[in-house]
């Protein structure tokens, strides 16, 4: 996987339109670095999950605050699509972060049949590098 800054430089070799950089953008210094690297805008995502105005559960918010980059696992085991997940939430859901199964995008099923409890990812916290 490329660093977002390396990817940005590569894209700028053939595209001069507006670019938004995301990924590990958590404070003003990161936004400045994104702009200095050629991005027009920077997207701050996971950091806002832990704010008062966000509708995430208090437990999820606290998990984000308590976690570091070492507490994030990139896996496709949950939905078949690769994503970043908080390791403490994976453990609570019964997964062993050291031996995650390999997901298959063909097996993706985002439907719950109206039963929110049936969603495999319902209590698993997604989060980028904060």
pLDDT, tens digit, 9 for 90 and up, residues 50-65:
999 999 999 999 999 9
Strands 20-22 and 41-43, sheet pairing = parallel
Tell me the C-alpha to C-alpha distance, in Å, between residue 92 and each of 26, 38, 55, 62, 116. 26, 40, 21, 15, 18
The whole-number pLDDT of residue 120 equals: 57
Question: Which residues sit opposite 39 in a β-bridge?
Answer: none
Task: List, for residues 62-72, the tens digit of each pLDDT value.
Answer: 999 999 889 99
CB 42 within 8 A of CB 25: yes
| 91 backbone dihedrals φ, ψ, rounded to 5° | -65, -45
Task: List, for residues 9-46, the tens digit of each pLDDT value.
Answer: 899 999 999 999 888 788 899 899 999 988 999 988 88
CB 123 within 8 A of CB 92: yes
The whole-number pLDDT of residue 118 equals: 47
pTM (predicted TM-score):
0.72
The whole-number pLDDT of residue 130 equals: 58
Give the end-to-end CA distance of the chain in Å, rounded to a whole number: 18
Asked if pLDDT for residue 101 goes beyond 70, the answer is yes
């Amino acid at each position: 996987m490329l660093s977002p800054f390396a990817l940005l430089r590569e894209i700028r070799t053939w595209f001069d339109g507006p670019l938004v950089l995301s990924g590990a953008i958590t404070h003003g210094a990161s936004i400045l670095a994104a702009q200095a690297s050629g991005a027009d805008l920077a997207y701050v995502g996971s950091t806002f999950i832990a704010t008062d105005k966000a509708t995430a559960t208090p437990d999820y918010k606290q998990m984000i605050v308590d976690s570091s980059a070492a507490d994030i696992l990139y896996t496709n085991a949950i939905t078949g699509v690769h994503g970043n997940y908080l390791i403490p939430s994976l453990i609570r859901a019964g997964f062993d972060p050291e031996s995650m199964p390999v997901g298959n995008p063909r097996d993706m099923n985002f439907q719950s049949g109206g039963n929110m409890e049936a969603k495999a990812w319902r209590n698993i916290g997604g989060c980028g590098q904060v």
